[in-house]
Structure 1
Amino acid sequence: MPKSPPPGTAELRRDPLPLRGRTALVTGASRCGGIGYAIARRLAAYGASLYLHHHVPHDAAQPWGAEPSGPEAVADGVREALGDPQARVLHGPGDLTDPDAPAELMDRAAGALGRVDILVANHALSGSDGTLDTIDAAMLDAHWATDARSVILLTQAYARLRAALPPRTPGGRVVMMTSGQDIADGMPHEVAYALANGALASATRTLATALGDLAVTVNTVDPGPVDTDYLSGDVYEAIAARFPAGRWGMPDDPARLIAWLATDEAEWVTGQVVNSEGGFRRT
Structure 2
Amino acid sequence: MTERVALITGISRRIGIGAAVARRFAAAGYRLQLSGLPGYDDAQPYGGDPDGVPALLAELTEVTGDPDAVRYQAADLSSPSAPAELVETAVRGHGRLDVVVAVHAYSTHTPLGALDAAEIDRHLVVNVRATLLLAEAFAAAFRAGSGGRLVLFSSGQRLGPMPTELAYAASKAGVENLTHQLSPLLMPKGITVNCVNPGPTDTGYLAPADRDALARLFPGGEWGSPEDAARLVEWLCSPDGRWLTGQVIDSEGGFHRYA
TM-score (norm 2): 0.95
Work out the number of aligned pairs and report it.
Answer: 258
RMSD: 1.5
Contact 2:104 2:127 (8 Å CA) reproduced:
yes
Task: Give the 5 Å matches for 1:84-99.
Answer: 88-99=69-80
Contact 2:196 2:251 (8 Å CA) reproduced:
yes
Q: How far apart, in 1, do the equivalents of 2:17 and 2:218 lie?
A: 19
| Structure 1 residue 237 corresponds to structure 2 residue 215 | no
Task: Give the 5 Å matches for 1:91-240.
Answer: 91-127=72-108, 129-162=109-142, 165=143, 168=145, 170-183=146-159, 185-240=160-215
Q: How far apart, in 2, do the equivalents of 1:200 and 1:260 lie?
A: 21
Q: How far apart, in 2, do the equivalents of 1:75 and 1:236 lie?
A: 29
| Structure with the greater alpha carbon radius of gyration | 1
Structure 1 counterpart of 2:31: 49
Q: CA deviation at 1:136?
A: 1.8
Q: CA deviation at 1:87?
A: 7.5
Task: Give the 5 Å matches for 1:245-256.
Answer: 245-256=220-231
Q: How far apart, in 2, do the equivalents of 1:81 and 1:137 lie?
A: 45
Taking every aligned residue pair, what percent have the same amino acid on both sides? Answer: 42
Q: CA deviation at 1:66?
A: 2.5
Q: CA deviation at 1:125?
A: 1.0
Q: How far apart, in 1, do the equivalents of 2:206 and 2:67 lie?
A: 38
Equivalent position SS for 1:274: strand
Where structure 1 has 5 or more consecutive residues not aligned to the other structure, the ranges are 1-18
Q: CA deviation at 1:122?
A: 0.3
Q: How far apart, in 2, do the equivalents of 1:71 and 1:57 lie?
A: 12
Contact 1:62 1:126 (8 Å CA) reproduced:
no
Q: How far apart, in 1, do the equivalents of 2:45 and 2:110 lie?
A: 17
